[in-house]
Amino acid sequence: MSYSKACCSLPPVVSDYKYTGEMVKYEDLSIYSVGPKDAKKAVLVFYDIFGYHPNAYQFCDILAKHCGWRVIMPDFLHGDYATMELLADTPKLLEWIGKVGTVEVVTPDVERSVRYLKEAGVDAATLVGFCWGAKIAVQLTSTMFFFVGASLVHPSFVDVKDAEKAGAPILALPSNDEPDMTEYMQVLAKKPFGSQCKHVRFDDMGHGFCAARGDYTDKLNAQRATEAIQLTANFFSECFKIKDSSL
């Protein structure tokens, strides 16, 4: 298997994007799916708290088209997305996330998603987590070894305890709104896969620059989002390469 595709120069993101994949139903779970149906490798994406957005679709579509992976983005929040009003009330926002967005709540849907991929012939997958999904992604690597790596894109709820339990290589891509992740990465560095973990901070970008809060009509935002996708593609390529070499 060739991994050169993921390391080539990916195209820049664009504004006013129209997704190229399809929505499917699997065991009552809605899933956005894009990429080769015979792909052996896949990426599972957690959108941010605002749900499906053109920027998140574009992230998925670029990985699928230029890396040859199946990319899925399940509707883990089942249409119950955050509103700007909710965002303005921190206590209510945290209460809402505690009800709909913890690893315990979403794990059944993750398991459904894994079954969907395995039935399609996928033998390994990686995770992309935007915002709240980044925390979930790290936590899943500690218990679900089908996932061989995770990219944390402007992660929320960063907790060193999650790093301590991580079970696969991690790529951390925080913005200037996220806390310093040096200690987090130091913990990961002590893992058997520590040398594979990477950390790139986007100090000129705010939280959400790759997802619903991103403005791709802004040249710098579009450039940084493209860089984040490129870093993720290269990182996942290595994760899959190492996975296959261990077989």
Question: pLDDT grade, residue 6 (50/70/90)?
Answer: very low
Indicate whether 193 pLDDT > 60: yes
**Separation between Cα atoms, residue 180 and residue 164, nearest integer Å:** 16
Residue 245 to residue 222: CA distance in whole angstroms = 35
Rounded-to-integer distance, Cα 66 and Cα 2, Å: 12
What pLDDT is attached to residue 15?
A: 76
pLDDT for the residue 174: 97
d(CA 179, CA 190): 21
Question: What DSSP character marks residue 194?
Answer: G
pLDDT of residue 9: 54
- Whole-structure pTM over 0.85, yes or no? yes
> Does the structure show a pLDDT above 80 at 54?
yes
Quick one: how far is CA 168 from the chain centroid?
A: 14
End-to-end CA distance of the chain: 13
Strand spans (E) along the chain: 22-26, 29-34, 41-46, 70-74, 124-131, 147-155, 170-173, 198-199
Would you give the distance in Å from CA 13 to the centre of its chain? 17
Predicted local confidence at residue 1, as pLDDT: 26
**What mean pLDDT comes out for the span 80-97?**
90
Confidence category of residue 3, pLDDT binned at 50, 70, 90: very low
Phi and psi angles of residue 103, each rounded to the nearest 5 degrees, phi first: -65, -35
Mean pLDDT score, 177-185: 96
Angle at 71 between CA 104 and CA 153, to 5 degrees: 65
Ordered structural domains, the chain, with CATH: 23-245 (3.40.50.1820)
Mean predicted confidence (pLDDT) in 210-219: 92
- The residue among 223, 226, 239, 210 whose CA lies nearest residue 66 is 226
Percent of the chain with pLDDT over 70: 96
Q: 10 near 66, Cβ under 8 Å?
A: yes
CA dist 107 → 77, 89, 111, 175, 181 (Å): 12, 27, 6, 27, 26
Residue 44, C-beta contacts closer than 8 angstroms, at least 6 positions apart: 72, 73, 74, 110, 113, 117, 125, 126, 127, 128, 147
Is the pLDDT at 12 greater than 90? The verdict is no
**What's the sign of the alpha-carbon dihedral 156, 93, 144, 24?**
negative
Distance, in Å, from the CA atom of 49 to the CA atom of 58, rounded to the nearest integer, reads: 17
Contact 100, 124 (CB under 8 A): no
Predicted local confidence at residue 4, as pLDDT: 31
What pLDDT is stored for residue 84 in this prediction? 84
Query: Alpha-carbon distance 42 to 126, whole Å?
Result: 7
